[in-house]
Amino acid sequence: MKRLLVILMLTLVFATVSNAEEDETVTVQQDNTISMQDLVGRTISYTWQTGPFKGASHLLLIVDPNTMQLSVESGMKMANPSTIKFDVVQVDDEVFYLTWRSEEYAQTLVMTLNFKTNMIYEVVVTEKINYLSEGPFVLKN
């Protein structure tokens, strides 16, 4: 009987210690913060699903935190990649607004990169009309 009582007591002690250890366990969330510096040298490949260039595919190479090189894979005419200086605002750990002015086409562009959903959104503002486009993207390299 004493043995049974000792076994029960030891079981109770180990169960209590085990539960106490579980209560002290802290789960740390993974840090998903992305910076523009993290994207330098990486290419974003995307295809517009909506908008005036629906179906057009592009490559966007981040040269430095405020410079990109934009080229067309398919669906549009563009002889050479364009090097573009842009301003950037990080609105969330994984969401950026990029904006620039194209004097060549007399338009202002605002591009949103959402790394949570892997979606890209673009608003093109001209003197006469605004264009909205969106599509999925893949981060390469």
Selection from 120, 125, 124, 123 nearest residue 136 by Cα: 120
Question: What is the pLDDT, as a whole number, of residue 3?
Answer: 55
Which class for 39: exposed (0-12), middle (13-18), buried (19 or more C-beta within 10 A)?
Answer: buried
Q: How many residues in total does the chain contain?
A: 141
3-state secondary structure of 37: helix
Residue 58 to residue 84: CA distance in whole angstroms: 14
The identity of residue 121, as a single letter, is: Y
Summary mean pLDDT of the chain: 83
- Indicate the Cα dihedral angle 94, 95, 100, 106, nearest 10°: 140
pTM of the model: 0.74
Q: What is the pLDDT of residues 52-106, one digit of tens each?
A: 999 999 999 999 999 999 998 876 666 678 899 999 999 999 999 999 999 988 9
Which residues on neighbouring strands pair with residue 96, listed in sequence order?
90, 113
Tokens of 15: 């169960």
Question: What is the pLDDT, as a whole number, of residue 29?
Answer: 46
Question: What is the pLDDT, as a whole number, of residue 73?
Answer: 83
Domains annotated on the chain, with CATH: 36-140 (2.40.128.20)
127 vs 6: which has the higher pLDDT: 127
